[in-house]
Copies of this chain bind each other. A is one copy, B any other.
């Protein structure tokens, strides 16, 4: 407790200092474009920074967003509002222009990320407790639909919630091993299509940027499952079966994330679970074509927009390093040491720069994505997720 108090005190001191630095730069609401805005989650303090990616600086800090561990965000299609999903079941609608909370609701006990429909009208959130998906009007945050994740075992935790073209959301049931598609094309309750037997304990999922493939990673078995959403009757298909998940004695320090940015050229790029490897899969055959030995257990393997390179960060105790891979041959072309606890990386929309949150240095670093030169640093309190408004225009993010 003593140590904790000391850490807390030190933390608050840093917070006050950084906060002061930010307020000194805070600005009145201005008429401006929203295409180059973004947010940086400050997980420990329930706050976020509103940032400008053109000038590489913080515009404001906003507080009062609740428990932001594992928080993520989607954006309204005009780029003005961020919908921030907290671990506490909160959805906070943030006005990036006025730096205010436009609306905040607590919609469940424990949630794990959300999505926004392709027309921007529906915000969906996946819940652990109670399990299921809730869907809200993006304007008002009024509840529109609740989809309990009922299976023979009761209520399942829901993970891997993604938007798909045509006002659809796709998500998976951790306990049930199922993937469901909820189609909101018509008004009224959604049409829900259920795919059983997709595998044991799906832990995260992605939709490829073209909206075609929904890929679920499995924790309870050695492999992944893909659904081809372009087919009228998609059939779940396993791939990378027996790639070696759990074969080694390595404890899994942190579950890797799957991201919509996972396609690099003709390959899907996936962080292996519990292994110091990144896996490359042919996007047509879903056969493994290569592995790259990396520095630690990968957490994110994120393709630079366009897919020319893939940037990888790692679980503890290797989380001070980022490696950059070449998508043509899988080689490691650069290794950066941003500092302790690199938690997230976000590319500018056309991939010219990348923002890296370095939690234990209380800093966000900005790199040229091609030369790897560090261009700027922004102070932040325990920064974790970084999300830019251009996500509003991307499928599966």
Contacts and interface: CB of A to CB of B under 8 A. Distances in A.
Interface stretch (A6-14, A310-318, A389-397): A389-397
A79 interface: yes
A230 B317 CA distance: 34
Contacts of A54: 77-78, 120
Contacts of A352: 118-119, 165-167
Contacts of A167: 352
A265 interface: yes
Nearest to A392: B35
Contacts of A148: none
B79 A35 contact: yes
Contacts of A370: 165-166, 185
A120 B390 CA distance: 14
A82 B6 CA distance: 53
A76 interface: yes
A20 to B, nearest CB: 27
Interface residues of A, number: 56
Contacts of A98: 31
A370 B186 CA distance: 12
A353 B210 CA distance: 16
A93 interface: no
A188 interface: no
A212 interface: yes
A351 B33 contact: no
Interface in A67-94: 75-81
Contact of A306 (B36, B212, B350): B212
Most chain B CB within 10 A, of A210, A212, A350, is at A350
A29 interface: yes
A177 interface: no
A340 interface: no
B36 A97 contact: no
B230 A165 contact: no
Contact of A35 (B284, B353, B389): B389
Contact of A33 (B34, B265, B306, B348): B34
A350 B370 CA distance: 27
B32 A265 contact: no
A393 to B, nearest CB: 3
7 smallest CB-CB distances across A and B, nearest first, come from A33-B78, A35-B79, A33-B80, A349-B393, A118-B350, A211-B306, A36-B78
Given A79-B79, A118-B351, A230-B328, 15 more contacts: A29-B31, A33-B76, A33-B81, A33-B97, A34-B35, A35-B35, A35-B76, A35-B77, A35-B389, A119-B352, A211-B306, A211-B351, A212-B308, A230-B308, A230-B327
7 contacts: A30-B31, A35-B35, A36-B77, A54-B78, A165-B350, A305-B395, A349-B394
